[in-house]
Amino acid sequence: MKTHRKKIPLGTDMIVEAALELIDKSGLEKFSVREVARTLKVFPTAIYWHVSGGRNGLLAEVVARALRDVAPSFGPRDDWEQWIRSVFERYRESLQRHPNVAPLIGAQLVSNAGVNPVLVERVLAALESAGFRGKRLVDTYNTVIAALLGYVTLEMAPAPADDAGGWAQSFEEKIRSLPAAEYPRLVANLDRLANRAFIVRWQSGNQVPLDDGFRMYVDTVVAGLRSLVATRSGRRRT
Amino acid sequence: MKTHRKKIPLGTDMIVEAALELIDKSGLEKFSVREVARTLKVFPTAIYWHVSGGRNGLLAEVVARALRDVAPSFGPRDDWEQWIRSVFERYRESLQRHPNVAPLIGAQLVSNAGVNPVLVERVLAALESAGFRGKRLVDTYNTVIAALLGYVTLEMAPAPADDAGGWAQSFEEKIRSLPAAEYPRLVANLDRLANRAFIVRWQSGNQVPLDDGFRMYVDTVVAGLRSLVATRSGRRRT
DNA sequence: ACCTGAACACCGTTCAAGT
DNA sequence: ACCTGAACACCGTTCAAGT
């Protein structure tokens, strides 16, 4: 699986791909421009000639590469609910292939711009077909994008790099010894929650996927949108 | 507003507070353990004696501090929908006070554990009162937490630190010159979308809040949950 | 145009030593 | 117990110089 590059002259794509491979293999914590340079057998400064924006610019391109082709095309005969569901699934699959880029997505505007205009256009198309227009279209658009990125970036949040301090173990102990008096419901449902629910887990979603929660989440968002379609009046009570 | 500390001996709280102040002022990019040490007029290594887990451990505590008291208590006579709405709002207000910590929340398990067990217990209480039990309770719990963190962390994603490269300006130009042929809906709604919608904005949510989108988002989640309450049968079509 | 090479101003973290 | 001090192995980025 190791890519052998010889003397083929450097190019932006080559650098971005090397960076992504490196992140996939060792995580963001280990990532550095210099390391990328080393794997390409090039001086660090050569990178700067090819990619603008330095380290952050490179990371933004990495995100864009990892997330390309997430949005299936939307035609006038497609069902918007079904389409939304499929984008959510494909987006999750992309991040499951590259879990270590997850922290980048919410990290910077530059990076979440990596999710490209094609996706924007198609989400708008789907929502328009659902009946949303004008200001309301924009609001539902923001809702969908936030929901799209939300679950998965959180699910894939990485555990400590090498965990020399044994964080995972001591955290598990802390969770398992919470007093039932203070946390009755947490303790009552502990078997179901421990390591399988946000905040009370010690492994990342690429190791312990939270599948059922994701399904419920998608159901919730879609059902919510559907109920808003019914509400034709622009304004709602706060 | 500048805090003058004299010779009061170092303590974990003091360090965490100094770190949070520093992040609030200059952002995560500028943050460093050494800088924290400098503001406390202490050698960098002194920090390590007080806070375990090094830099990441410190950042986790910063998140915990920034997000404490987000969850109002939930009593048996409270309305679960209203309660969910208020947590969402309070969580957003906390991050509006400390927008620069936003990237940390999805960044690591250690950090999103900073949202403490009290919140877990209360969310469970609210969802139980809505009628969710057992496996279904866990799934809706994951849904709510993901939704809770999702919108706001994305909204507060920081723009490039100093933007020496003029990223914002060139990105705006790129957006404004997208071809209407390829992106008909994006271009048609550009005035409403530009800088006011995810992916096609160049300023962070602490400068240009996406309020209406947030309201719609909360409506969507709550309406979705409500519709799932109705569906008493555990299973749903995929 | 594309890359080398050296240099600058930083990092996080460990480990020994002081008080 | 709490902190200093020195040292190690790194960083990202700039700038001049080579070809």
- Using a CB-CB cut-off of 8 Å, the residues of chain B touching A157 are 106-109, 111-112
The pLDDT value recorded for residue A217 is 98
The pLDDT value recorded for residue B8 is 67
The pLDDT value recorded for residue A165 is 74
In terms of CA atoms, which chain B residue is nearest residue A133?
B189
pLDDT digits (tens, 9 = 90+) for A107-126: 899 888 888 999 999 999 99
DSSP string, A25-73: HH-TTT--HHHHHHHTTS-HHHHHHHSTTHHHHHHHHHHHHHTTT-S--
The pLDDT value recorded for residue A237 is 42
Burial of B3 (0-12, 13-18, 19+ CB in 10 A): exposed
Residue closest to A190 by CA, chosen among A203, A208, A177: A177
The pLDDT value recorded for residue B7 is 54
Q: What is the rounded average pLDDT of the residues A3-16?
A: 74
Q: Is the Cα dihedral B171, B177, B183, B189 positive or negative?
A: positive
Run of H or E residues at A220: helix A211-230
Find the Å distance, CA of residue B57 to C1' of nucleotide D1: 21
Q: Which residues contact A157 (CB under 8 A, 6 or more apart)?
A: A102, A103, A204, A205, B106, B107, B108, B109, B111, B112
pLDDT digits (tens, 9 = 90+) for A67-86: 999 999 999 999 999 999 99
CA B210, CA B208: separation in Å to the nearest integer?
Answer: 6
CA B186, CA B194: separation in Å to the nearest integer?
Answer: 9
Q: Which residues contact A215 (CB under 8 A, 6 or more apart)?
A: B139, B236, B238
The pLDDT value recorded for residue A8 is 67
The pLDDT value recorded for residue A148 is 97
pLDDT at B3 over 70: no
DSSP string, A150-191: HHHHHHTPPPPSS-TT-HHHHHHHHHHT--TTT-HHHHHTHH
In terms of CA atoms, which chain B residue is nearest residue A114?
B199
Q: What is the mean pLDDT of chain B?
A: 92
CA A236, CA A231: separation in Å to the nearest integer?
Answer: 9
Lowest-pLDDT range of A168-182, B3-17, B74-88, B101-115? B3-17
Burial of A14 (0-12, 13-18, 19+ CB in 10 A): middle
Lowest-pLDDT range of A162-166, B65-69, B233-237? B233-237
Residues 68-97 of A with CB under 8 A from B: none
Interface contact flag, B197 A224, Cβ < 8 Å: no
CA A224, CA A144: separation in Å to the nearest integer?
Answer: 11
Burial of B68 (0-12, 13-18, 19+ CB in 10 A): middle
The pLDDT value recorded for residue A236 is 45
The pLDDT value recorded for residue B231 is 77
In this structure, are residues B158 and B99 in contact, taking their beta carbons and an 8 Å threshold? yes
Interface contact flag, B221 A224, Cβ < 8 Å: yes
CA B24, CA B1: separation in Å to the nearest integer?
Answer: 13
Q: For residue B163, what pLDDT band results from cuts at 50, 70 and 90?
A: confident
CA B204, CA B101: separation in Å to the nearest integer?
Answer: 13
Any A CB within 8 A of B48 CB: no
Q: Which residue has the higher pLDDT, A103 or A162?
A: A103
Protein footprint of strand C, defined by Cβ closer than 7 Å to any strand atom: A 9-10, 42-46, 49-50, 164; B 31-35, 44-45, 48, 54-56
pLDDT digits (tens, 9 = 90+) for B97-141: 999 999 999 889 988 878 899 999 999 999 999 999 999 999 999
Residues 148-207 of B with CB under 8 A from A: 149-151, 153-155, 157-160, 165, 167, 171, 175, 178, 182-186, 189, 192-193, 196-204
- Using a CB-CB cut-off of 8 Å, the residues of chain A touching B212 are 135, 138-139
Interface contact flag, A143 B52, Cβ < 8 Å: no
Find the Å distance, CA of residue B147 to C1' of nucleotide D10: 38
CA A37, CA A15: separation in Å to the nearest integer?
Answer: 8
The pLDDT value recorded for residue B111 is 83
Determine the protein residue whose CA lies at the shortest distance from the C1' of D15: A45
- Using a CB-CB cut-off of 8 Å, the residues of chain A touching B138 are 189, 192-193, 196-197, 212-213
- From the alpha carbon of A57, which nucleotide's C1' atom is closest? D12
pTM for the full predicted model: 0.94
Q: What is the rounded average pLDDT of the residues A128-152?
A: 97
The pLDDT value recorded for residue B232 is 64
Q: What is the rounded average pLDDT of the residues A151-172?
A: 89
